[in-house]
């Protein structure tokens, strides 16, 4: 196939634009990593702006992990990201599967009520009073239960389930399988792309949990990682002198950002193939 000069110029222009977009997207991350690893004396010597350091230090990370607050908050965030995501997926599957069956009585009314929650909610004060009456204030469950099912994720999974061949369900019923057995033995193994996609949405949301902690958590031992990171980002250069001498505040701030972002950066490439497929199929099938 012969490629004319116009097509070559277009391809080169597209590649150049993509390179520029990639550079603009990655540059802030590169800057944050460099700031967290660069000795502060070198940062000052370069006018506070440095991308590629001449020397590297891990003092900021050592200092953060030696404190009690950061490791404790990481455990809280890890619990909400793992247990919370498992609860999210289980409840979402149990809701999406029956709604994907077209013979479900009152299906349209139930769907309308669920979609209604995407547009309107009960309000902040009623929600807080509900959490208080359930005895979940100052518990990690306050970070999980109120957002246990997201309507958007429920609709993605429902749409994916609707695209599965109906013959599979009929064959399973003929063999005597009940609906729960069909869900976990037939539907779940065939829905890995959808489950991984929705699971990623839930996991990132749980790991980045912030607003719920501000509302429902007053015990510092139960603060998730994002609360601690916010405290570090709000530090000024006038904090405790010993802290500035050992590790300067800007370096601590950048190191805390990397610690909070690293799990997502590590997990996303692993499930990227499922993510793209799950979003596409969940959006167009049915």
- Average pLDDT value for residue range 109-117: 91
Query: Residue 242 corresponds to which tokens in the numbers above?
Result: 């010993």
Percentage of residues in the chain having pLDDT higher than 70? 86
- Domain ranges for the chain, please list them: 1-57, 58-284
Percent with pLDDT over 90 in the chain: 28
The alpha carbon of residue 138 and the mean position of all alpha carbons in its chain are separated, in whole angstroms, by 22
Q: Is the pTM of this model over 0.85?
A: no
- Between CA 79 and CA 208 the distance in angstroms is 12
Q: What is the pLDDT of residue 283?
A: 44
Distance from C-alpha of 281 to C-alpha of 284, rounded to nearest angstrom: 5
d(CA 32, CA 255): 8
Q: What does the pLDDT look like over 8-65, one tens digit per residue?
A: 788 888 999 999 998 888 888 888 888 888 777 776 776 666 677 777 888 888 888 8
Tell me what the mean pLDDT of segment 77-104 comes to. 92
d(CA 284, CA 280): 6
Name the DSSP letter for residue 137: T
Instruction: Determine the pLDDT at residue 47.
Output: 66
Binned at pLDDT 50, 70 and 90, residue 238 comes out as: very low
Q: Three-state SS for 122?
A: coil
Identify the sign of the CA torsion 50, 241, 262, 37: positive
Minimal CA–CA distance to 74: which of 274, 256, 284? 256
Cβ burial of 174 (10 Å; 0-12, 13-18, 19+) is exposed
Residue 243 confidence (pLDDT): 43
Give the mean pLDDT of the chain: 83
Q: Is the pLDDT of residue 277 over 60?
A: no
Q: Which residues of 9-38 are buried (b: 16+ CB within 10 A; e: fewer)?
A: eeeeeeeeeeeeeeeeeeeeeeebbbbbbb
Residue 66, pLDDT score: 84
What's the CATH number for 58-284?
Answer: 1.10.3720.10
State the pLDDT confidence band at 94, using cuts at 50, 70 and 90.
Answer: very high
């Amino acid at each position: 196939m012969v490629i004319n000069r116009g097509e070559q110029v277009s391809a080169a222009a597209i590649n150049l634009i993509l390179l520029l977009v990639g550079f603009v997207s990655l540059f802030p991350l590169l800057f944050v990593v460099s700031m967290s690893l660069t000795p502060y004396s070198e940062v000052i010597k370069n006018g506070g702006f440095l991308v590629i350091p001449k020397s590297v230090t891990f003092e900021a990370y050592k200092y953060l992990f030696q404190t009690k607050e950061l490791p404790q908050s990481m455990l809280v965030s890890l619990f909400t990201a793992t247990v919370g995501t498992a609860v999210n997926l289980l409840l979402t599957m149990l809701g999406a599967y029956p709604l994907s069956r077209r013979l479900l009585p009152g299906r349209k009314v139930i769907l309308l009520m669920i979609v209604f929650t995407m547009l309107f909610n009960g309000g902040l004060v009623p929600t807080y009073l509900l959490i208080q009456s359930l005895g979940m204030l100052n518990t990690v469950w306050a970070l999980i239960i109120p957002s246990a099912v997201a309507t958007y994720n429920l609709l993605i999974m429902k749409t994916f389930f609707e695209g599965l061949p109906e013959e599979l369900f009929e064959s399973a019923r003929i063999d005597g399988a009940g609906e729960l057995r069909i869900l976990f033995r037939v539907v779940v193994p065939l829905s890995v792309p959808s489950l991984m996609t929705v699971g990623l949405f839930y996991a990132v949301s749980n790991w980045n949990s912030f607003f719920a902690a501000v509302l429902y958590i007053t015990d510092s031992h139960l603060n998730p990682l994002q609360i601690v990171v916010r405290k570090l980002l709000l530090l000024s250069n006038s904090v405790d002198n010993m802290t500035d001498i050992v590790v300067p505040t800007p370096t601590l701030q950048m190191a805390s950002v990397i610690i909070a972002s690293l799990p997502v950066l590590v997990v996303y490439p692993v499930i990227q193939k499922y993510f793209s497929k799950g979003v596409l199929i969940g959006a167009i099938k049915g």
